[in-house]
Structure 1
Amino acid sequence: MKPYVPYCGDFCSVLLSNLLKKKSEGFQKEKVLPEEYEFVHQALFTDPDDQSGWFYHLWLLDQTVKVDSPLLVSSWPANGSDLVLSGDRRLGDSASSLLTSFHSDSRTFPLILYFNQAVHGVNSSTVTVDYEFNSSKDLIWEPISINNSQTAQVWVTKLNYPNVELHALKECQVEVSLGHDWGIISSSGFHYSHPSCYTFKVCQKLAETDPTEELGGEIISWRDENFCIYKTDSQESSPAVSLDQLSIKSDNDLSASEWRVAAIANEIDHFRELLSLINCKIGKLTLARLLMAHDAMMHSSGNKVAHFEEVLELYSDLMKLDPSHVRYYKEEHSLVSMQLVTSSQESLLRHCFRYEDLNCSYIGNPICLRLNNLSLSRIGSFEKLLWVRMLDLSHNDLLSIEGLEAMQLLSCLNLSSNKLGSFTALEPLRLLKSLRVLNISYNEIGAHSIDTTRYLCSSPLSHSVGNKWNLGETAIDDDIKNYWEAYFILKGLKLTQLDLLGNAIADETFKLFVIKVLPALKWLDGEKMC
């Protein structure tokens, strides 16, 4: 590409941004943006190597597809689902396809809200929960944010259920509504102003045995022979609710308007024409973005037309054409792969496997989502994965696990044979309070003298976290001087099983340190603790 040359599009993007924010008369998006697309086409087709035109086109695309107001996109328990508390394994014989089970020795279960963007102001005033055993005013909402911010995409509270006699069965309905109070606000200042409501049912049936007695009693093995493909039939519950149930519809559902769909479709035609004439890297990238934007809009309107395979091929081509930016293209390729996996119930179930050791009742349904050997360098589509409790991400190319904190039910996680270079890259684990089994073997932890993720993720040295990190609270200060990152990540976890083999850091001294930090640990690198 040629060096950047100032272009009037830069001025136009600033001017139009201000006008659109103020919604000045005559400057509505549906009128202005189609005209601007025609204007920028002249620059792109005349000189495809001019960066400024592409930058302006990217800004126009962002203005076309983005929804300013925050929206609730999914939840757990899901809309219309039936939740059975405390997870008796025998319930599967008569369960419906929407039945899920959950068990907790603290007599609580989580309520998880997942928004399309980070928001603040989620509290008992802005979210009403109508539940027989709880009052909304008693609920405390927690933002799931790795930097301790009060703004987050995921918010969690806990609902109580009472102690009942053995096998006593009681069903009640939970209704969750939000948007009637404009107190939920995005980081850009837009209000949640489209009321939405969803319901799910809760019944309780106590297990005959105390699952906490079995917790960590048997080792979880990730070998292939311990898993069999999950098959559904009419008499067995699905591990995940229907993907359609995950979508939360508001009273004023913001499906894509006709002008947005038409504008994107028109751009797709233009870029197909451009690429038929020249082999243009940024043209391929733009077409990939357009196709994914079009699919998202059509999906919100109930049309599930998808271009996943074409987009994956475009990113594969870009990795070959532009090796200097291969990491970016690989991450985008991974995100599209994740969308493909979660695009339908049929596709998702192809990655669901039954863990054959049924003694692991504390997991709930022993169903594992296996996303191993997919060449993933980034994870996404978390809004479709809130139900997952056992996850296999082994044998991929992950450098970080950004976003994994959304999966608040996760009990067992396999991250072995990736490219994780430090404990800082594992920071989302701090927020997974249900995590008991973790495999991070055969990564690159301790192999790098400089932690390149430290400046991308918050750490004990950052202002947001460091002021809450009190070394005086522990008796192992000498070890922390050498392993402060590991201490910061592990100290709040209640792991019963941990695998570290194959990492440069995993010598005997470090293992002794881990044993001190994790008092509940029963298995370390496949060996039972005394």
Structure 2
Amino acid sequence: MFSCYYCNFCKNRKTTGPFTQIPNPKSVLILPKKKKKNRAAHQYHLHLSSVAAGRQPSPLRRPLSPASSVIGAHHRCVPVKLLLPPSPAFTTVVAFSAPAFSRRGPTSFQISALKPEEEAASVAKAQKLRALQTQFFSFHHNKIYTKEAVELSAKLLEINPESYTPWNYRKLAVEHYLSQPDCNPDSIKSVLDDELRVVENALRQNFKSYGAWHHRKWVISKGHSSIDNELRLLDKFQKADSRNFHAWNYRRFVAESMKRSEQDELKYTEDMIYKNFSNYSAWHNRSVLLSALFEKKAEGFLSKEKVLPEEYEFIHQAIFTDPDDQSGWFYHLWLLDQTVTTDSPLLASSWPAHGYDVLLVEERCYNVTVECGFNKNEDLLWKPLSASNSQTARVWVAHLKIPSSDLHSTVEVSVGHSKGIISTRGFEYSHPSMFSFKVHVQPMERDFSQVSVAESISLREENFMIYGTQSEESIINSFNQLSIKNGHESTASNWRSEALAKEIECFRELKIGKLTLARLLMACDVMSYPFANKLVHSEEVLELYSDLMKLDPTHYQYYKDEHSMVLLQKVTSSKESLLQHCFQYKDSVSSAICGPICLRLNNLSLSRMGAFEKLLWVQMLDLSDNELQSIEGLEAMQLISCLSLRNNKLRSLTALEPLRKLKLLRVLDISYNEIGDHSIDTTRYLCSSPLSHSVGSESNKDETVTSDVALIDNWEAFYIFKDFNLNQLDIVGNTIADEKFKSVLVKIVPKLKQLDGKLLG
């Protein structure tokens, strides 16, 4: 087996937990305490017309970035009870089972009741709207595109620009007219100009109407309308609301259509920022423009070395002018990503156990080609390891066929000599390298991938012993093999290191922005890691995240996840720290062959897993007594045969989705979690199942479970466990683990020999 590993340093990532809250940068500033005021709970009607920029509807929310997408929602009224915050220094985030909504977005609060005359006007407007809708839907259903019908849709849109159906109807009406044989260029232009006027009238009612902006883009894309007037129209709307992301999105479309240079747009964006430092949309547009200029290697933007230091100075003006505003902090985070992230992937390490594993650092890749000389294995079939069955992954796996006649073989692997390794940004691997290792096939006195009927494997404290000298030396040698010497000692250049050093010094002096300081310190370590095999600032970063969990409890889970990631990086960064967590199973001692390494990361309060590039060699893993709600990424550890997730916070069976990729897994302990405690499974649509689009790649589409009612009622268990080759499973202590469910598991996993410590007949 041979796997390639890709990872993002200082990249935004998924957080764990059902409603993990994302901290606005301003929520982690150390500001003077203000006098507390009395707070009272009030009953409001929260009118949600759209979702604030940067929020995503996934239950597993991602940290925001300037490139975050914007998601819309239909207008609806939801009664909620809010507790007024005592101080503007912190932002309160309310967790919904629906998409999150920001107080700073287009959300309005209506407290006072309507006056009688206002209520009467509202009733009359509703009656008029219903009458128009009834007539309109009749035209739409019967595909009537007369002048009267089209004018009726215009009236409807003038009243309610947020209605999508009339906009779609008008598109159909235009297409119908353009298909007529008697239409000519002048009449076509007239029809499309009418559409632009309808859009403009709708935008006067609501210039944040998704349907209106999309319809205008559709009309302009037809190519029959003049685009010269569009920038003037945009200026009007951006004067009314300079942060309107609809207008900024449309501006990018217009600028591209006009072949307007990125430099001109960059100057316009800079002017808008100087008018209002709190213009999040303008900062986002600046990041988009700079990314395009870097990619094109335009004049003055050939290298980031000159541009990024100037951008840091520019963003300091915004941050220090109003440190309570989030716009500048998000742009600073984007600059940090641009500083640390290199363009092309980087080969970092190799693990030649039961095959071979290649690790590539920086970005996920969508294609991998590695030349290998091993007898007749010229063409290897590479598969990405991703829990979502995506074709983009950090880990790629190929399997070797070892001839029974040749028990000692040499494998040579060359990476990068031929094209094929490409990052998601479109950059190819540019550091060709080669390494080789020998494969020795010999019987082991004990194989932990097989468990006999008469015995069980328990990853409890009493079953482990400290490694002897010979075993310890074996671990050290294995750890050393993870380093690949390819002539590139560090990815850091002088200007990158200097830029980070200046930022760290700046934020240490200011005593604000603990989260940003933590990110900067980790970025500084990442620049040299894994080549240096040490994290200089890890202790300070861990202390910062511990402080943040106390200072900003609203976003406790986010800081907890980050703390866990840093702790794992620290544990796996050196041989000395790793040896403290390596043990030998009591029955795996052999004079000839050392038993599998037992890595015990238990009781560390981990809420998220990481550092997988240093753990690919592990066969026995103990993660018990932690706070894990997700095991995302565990699919990279292909050699695991024994895994304990005992006493964590896994909330559902679908959270076990990554384990489906572990073909050698034989012993699994998921006892005493929270499986079955929660009625809402927030990971269900991340799981390969009939309810998601990810099921098609590996599952047999003709496969059904209609023959057994119990299996139909437990489809999650079926789709999670059906590919397992487990011999031993512990599930006691979960709400779901009743006798009926256990009988279902026995049907799903026919090779199961022991369930909750009891032998199966």
C-alpha distance in structure 2 between counterparts of 1:332 and 1:326, whole Å: 10
Match of 1:161 in 2: 402
Return the alpha-carbon distance in structure 2 between the equivalents of residues 208 and 323 of structure 1: 51
TM-score (norm 1): 0.85
Deviation, structure 1 residue 315? 0.4
1:349 equivalent to 2:623? Answer: no
Partner of 2:523: 293
The answer to whether residue 366 in structure 2 is matched with residue 129 in structure 1 is: no
Superposed, 1:39-54 pairs within 5 Å as 39-54=314-329
Partner of 1:354: helix, strand, or coil?
strand
1:255-294 matched pairs, under 5 angstroms: 255-275=491-511, 280=512, 283-294=513-524
- How far 1:29 moved relative to its partner? 0.2
Query: CA 1:152/1:360 → structure 2, altered by over 3 Å: closer, same or farther?
Result: farther
Q: Deviations over 1:40-90 (max 9, x none)?
A: 12222232112111111111111100112122333321xxxxx6xxxxxxx
CA-CA distance at 1:118 after TM superposition: 2.0
Number of aligned pairs?
483
Structure 1 unaligned regions, length at least 5? 78-82, 84-108
Number of the residue aligned with 1:431: 661
1:503 is aligned to 2:744:
no
SS of residue in 2 equivalent to 1:219: coil
Contact 1:215 1:360 in 2 (8 A): no
Counterpart of 2:498 in structure 1: which amino acid? A
Picking from 185, 192, 200, the partner of 2:422 is: 185
The CA deviation at 1:253 is 6.2
* 1:409-488 map, 5 Å: 409-466=639-696, 468-470=699-701, 472=703, 476-488=707-719
Q: Which has the higher strand share?
A: 1
Please give the secondary structure, in 1, of the residue aligned with 2:621: strand
**Where in structure 2 are the equivalents of 1:63-142 lying within 5 Å?**
63-77=338-352, 109-116=354-361, 117-122=363-368, 126-131=369-374, 133-137=375-379, 139-142=380-383
CA–CA distance in structure 1, aligned partners of residues 428 and 351 of structure 2: 23
Structure 1 pair 214–431 and aligned structure 2 pair: CA distance change class (3 A) = closer
Offset, 1:301: 5.7
Kept after mapping to 1: 8 A contact 2:490/2:527 = no
Query: How far is the alpha carbon of 1:242 from its aligned partner?
Result: 4.6
Structure 1 residue 23, shift from structure 2 partner:
1.2
Once the two structures are superposed, the pairs formed by residues 305-344 of structure 1 within 5 Å of their partners are: 306-344=536-574
- Report the equivalent of 1:225: 462
Alignment partners' CA distance in 1, 2:533 and 2:622? 31
Corresponding residue SS for 1:159: coil
Which stretch shows the higher mean deviation, 332-341 or 449-458?
A: 449-458
Distance 1:252 1:240, change over 3 A: closer
Measure, in 1, the Cα distance between the counterparts of 2:474 and 2:453. Answer: 26
Aligned to 1:93: none
Q: Distance in 2 between matches of 1:187 and 1:401?
A: 24
Q: Secondary structure of the residue that 2:436 maps to in structure 1?
A: strand
Kept in 2, the 8 Å contact 1:496–1:521? The answer is yes
> What per-residue deviation string (whole Å, max 9, x for no partner) do you get for residues 297-352 of structure 1?
13356484511110001001111111111111000000001001101001001001
8 A contact 2:348–2:360 mirrored in 1: yes
Percent identity between matched residues is: 60
CA distance in 2 between partners of 1:297 and 1:212 (Å): 38
Residue 24 of structure 1: how far off its partner (Å): 1.1
Q: Secondary structure at the match of 2:387?
A: coil
Alignment counterpart, residue 412 of structure 2, candidates 150, 159, 175: 175
Gaps of 5+ in 2: 1-25, 27-87, 89-103, 106-277
> 1:189 & 1:506 partners in 2: Cα distance?
47
Deviations 1:461-482 (A, max 9, x none): 1112157354745575312221
Contact 2:465 2:585 in 1 (8 A): yes
- The 3-state SS of whatever aligns with 1:246 is coil
Deviation of 1:246 (Å): 1.3
* Residues 350 and 481, structure 2, Cα contact 8 Å, conserved in 1: no
Summarize the Cα distance change of 1:208–1:527 in structure 2 as closer, same or farther, 3 Å threshold: closer
- Counterpart residue identity of residue 260, structure 1: R
More moved, 61-70 vs 198-207: 198-207
Distance 1:321 1:32 in 2: 35
8 Å CA contact retained: 1:268, 1:287: yes
The Cα RMSD (Å) is 2.6
1:198 corresponding residue in structure 2: 435
Q: 2:625 aligns with which of 389, 392, 395?
A: 395
Change (3 A) 1:76 1:324: same
Match in the other structure for 2:279: 6
Residues in 2 aligned to 1:206 and 1:389: alpha-carbon distance in whole angstroms: 17
- Is the CA contact (8 Å cut-off) linking 2:685 and 2:692 kept in structure 1? no
Secondary structure in 1 aligned to 2:394?
strand
Q: Is the 8 A contact 1:272 1:287 kept in 2?
A: yes
TM-fit CA distance, 1:234: 5.1
Q: How does 1:368-387 map to 2 (within 5 A)?
A: 368-387=598-617
**How many angstroms does 1:250 deviate by?**
3.7
The question of 1:144 aligning with 2:385 is answered: yes
1:190: Cα distance to partner? Answer: 2.0
Tell me which amino acid in the other structure corresponds to 1:526: G
Structure 2 distance, partners of 1:141, 1:360, is 35
Whole-angstrom CA distance in 2 between matches of 1:33 and 1:154: 31
Q: Does 1:515 align with 2:752?
A: no
CA distance in 2, matches of 1:213, 1:399: 28
Give the Cα separation in 1 of the matches to 2:448 and 2:551.
Answer: 54
Question: Residues of 2 paired with 1:396 and 1:447: CA distance?
Answer: 18
Alpha-carbon distance between aligned partners in 2 of 1:289 and 1:263, rounded to the nearest angstrom = 14
**Amino acid paired to 1:183:** G
Per the TM alignment, residue 442 of structure 1 is displaced from its structure 2 partner at its CA by 0.3
For residues 500 and 403 of structure 1, the distance between their equivalents in structure 2, rounded to whole angstroms, comes to 22
